[in-house]
Amino acid sequence: METGDPLVTADWLKQNISAPDIRVVDATYYAPFVKAEKTGREEWAESHIPGAVHFDIDAIKAGGTDLPHMLPDPIMFSSRVRKLGIGDGNRVVVYDNNNFCAAARVWWMLRVMGHNDVTVLDGGLNAWKAEGGELEDMPPVAVERHFTARVRSDLVKDTAQVAAASESRSHGIVDARPAGRFTGEAPEPREGLASGHIPGSMSAPSSGLINPDGTLKSVSELKGLLPDHDAPIITTCGSGVTAAILALGYARLGNWDVAVYDGSWTEWASDPSRPVATGAA
């Protein structure tokens, strides 16, 4: 059973980065519609925490679907992370340079695949630099390790499961998208998708969980932002990335069993037969 804080500080990482079982992972990612000047991988190549490998959620993903960065099967996942030098017995610390996007997603992916010894660097790369941490631009030489996948299916939900939860109210469904997209007042960034929300879901924009300095808000603040702290929860967003930020926040409150709707709104709204609610929750 997972306990404690899912985050570590930059000071902690500085003190422990040389430990032989520590693996640092840069998960920086920018959605295509953001139109960032550089990709996450390009930023990593220019400057990263020493020894950090880059985990690209658009490369380590399921095939055979038009949905973005869906969770791959355990065989494919194991093969890819082994080549990054991540394996059994490692303590993994994930960070990014974009307000937990997609460090929280990679944290969740590793936990789905049974690797519980994973934390997220609070404040990401900026916190590391503020702490005086060194940077490098050379890619590390990753030594392949054995990774044993033990899939936790309870941490990931598909459309049928979400539809059932929406109808039965067996789980709280919490949406990480901006409020305007949730209510239907603002358009979706993905062309052809209507805005709105899954009937019965609640709005908790992931941006509200993050302090101006890029750290996650305190436990007391999160309690006022995340609904139904102790209830069974499914988080959703546009494509399953910022939903993981909510899952990270719930874990900080002690609810480690929050599931992510992998296909999220991109999958839900792509089928016109699925119900779409608008307005406030």
Task: Determine the Cα–Cα distance for residues 13 and 35; give it in Å rounded to an integer.
Answer: 31
Find the DSSP H helices in 47-112.
Answer: 74-83, 103-112
Active site residue 237: yes
Tokens of 221: 């603040």
CA dist 276 and 81 (Å) reads 37
Residue 10, H or E segment = helix 10-16
Written as six digits, the tokens of 204 are 């908790």
Out of 120, 237, 258, 260, pick the active-site residue. Answer: 237
Nearest to 108 by CA among 34, 178, 55, 49: 55
Contact 274, 281 (CB under 8 A): no
Please, which residues have CB within 8 angstroms of residue 155's CB and are 6 or more apart in sequence? 108, 111, 112, 257, 258, 259, 260
Query: Which residues are part of the catalytic machinery?
Result: 237
